[in-house]
Structure 1
């Protein structure tokens, strides 16, 4: 093999890209990320409020649809399941934070252009993963309803609540459902807390992004689980008044997640 052929062979080999480096973080980093998220929200409030309002209206439509179909008893699990798509809904917020960080202009055309450019790419696969977990969430709700309460239907949400809190079977359904839901939420959090912003910023595959996200949680379990609790409690409180609280809390949490990602994953060299 001559020098020309050898050079061609080497050039044809794909260059090796090391996996993203995960940093260990502390609770102070979580607090700093939350403060940075609040700053980003204040720097571009119209964009954050608009995205938060769109998400809140989506939640109201989901609950209204359940009521219109005579399945108001599914309002609570549907609301909880809807919150699970938060990481995907926050993609636009990640782009806003990235632009504020780099000094690029924040415009709707720029935000939607970047999001549209992800169509058919790795971010779409991550969206499919989130959708799959949401389907699993609703499936386990229906399964547990059948196991503990049979296949009975409920005329109203209040009747469903009375059955849940007033019967042993209902309390068992509530306890097991929350345990299973907590496990699914932890899985979703672990594979998405870093993966979505990583895919927004870097040209990596979604498997690498999910592995990096899980590594970030495993490397700093206490701060990351603490962040998961902050997100969960904030979202639960936000959806109680008809999802209205999400108009403000969703953009702040989305911006904060971007800054937490920047602390968890070292810059690419």
Structure 2
């Protein structure tokens, strides 16, 4: 029998224990949702892809192409309103409701009047800390190095003690921030899209779900991070498919972790 913990706040759902099999099933359901309604997935994924192109163009213009890595990694984390559209597609398909453009987009715009907007500020703040720590570590380890191109930056980072220090410390700090962001949002975002609950309660419930299910939840986080990195490699084109599938999968994992409305 599945172990269930009572909700951590008003409106919060009880938290269930899940397994790696639930993670696998959620990913399979996410892929099925994308295949059933690819137009929505390509539309929302395309927003991220074009955003990545614009970021790259801006960094090349200001002479800081090396910043594309931290910005590209963090950029997909800045779209809670876009993710709502994917959640709504999955919700409607699971409930047997019509999946229409009007209905899905209406739900996206409706979130502006709800708690998800506050959650977006939290995500933005953590993203800002992420970018700031990259620039701080760059100044500490490579402040006296100079390079005028991406190739020069890679050569310095991979061939100097300072560069290796930058990579090692940056990876550790980045992994910690990624864990914090994942833990506070993985359940909170779909919960706020579905339930009338305040964003603080949603964040606490999300962290509680990760604490209760550390192995499957962190495994899902690892898959999300790795898949996103792979999607970035072909000029962000992989985001067209990877992000929608992960968005749908997040919804299904949330439904497996939480008790029904």
Q: Which residue of the partner structure matches residue 138 of structure 2?
A: 145
Q: Which residue of the partner structure matches residue 253 of structure 1?
A: 246
The 1-side partners of 2:114 and 2:49 are apart by 27
Structure 2, gaps ≥5 residues long: 1-8
Pairing 1:244–2:237 present: yes
The 1-side partners of 2:81 and 2:186 are apart by 10
Q: Displacement of 1:88 after TM fit?
A: 5.0
CA RMSD of aligned residues (A): 1.5
Looking at CA atoms only, which structure, 1 or 2, has the larger radius of gyration? 1
Pairing 1:26–2:19 present: yes
- Which of 147, 155, 174 is the matching residue for 1:154? 147
Q: Secondary structure at the match of 1:118?
A: helix
The 1-side partners of 2:28 and 2:191 are apart by 20
Structure 1 runs of 4+ with >4 Å offset: none
Q: Displacement of 1:87 after TM fit?
A: 5.0
- Which of 189, 214, 235 is the matching residue for 2:207? 214
- Which of 63, 71, 88 is the matching residue for 2:56? 63
The 2-side partners of 1:32 and 1:253 are apart by 12
The 2-side partners of 1:114 and 1:247 are apart by 21
The 2-side partners of 1:49 and 1:18 are apart by 33
The 2-side partners of 1:154 and 1:104 are apart by 55
- Tell whether the 8 Å contact from 1:84 to 1:185 is kept in structure 2 after alignment: no
The 2-side partners of 1:81 and 1:17 are apart by 31
My pick for the range that moved more, 83-92 or 180-189, is 83-92
Q: Secondary structure at the match of 1:106?
A: coil
Q: Which residue of the partner structure matches residue 194 of structure 1?
A: 187
TM-score between both structures, scaled by the size of structure 1? 0.90
- Residues 174 and 114 of structure 1, relative CA distance in 2, 3 Å threshold: same
- Could you report, residue by residue, the CA deviation over 1:6-54 in whole angstroms, capped at 9, with x for unpaired residues? xxxxxxxxxx946321000001111111111111111111111111122
TM-score between both structures, scaled by the size of structure 2? 0.93
Q: Displacement of 1:151 after TM fit?
A: 5.6
Q: Which residue of the partner structure matches residue 98 of structure 2?
A: 105
- Mapping 1:45-84, distance limit 5 Å: 45-84=38-77
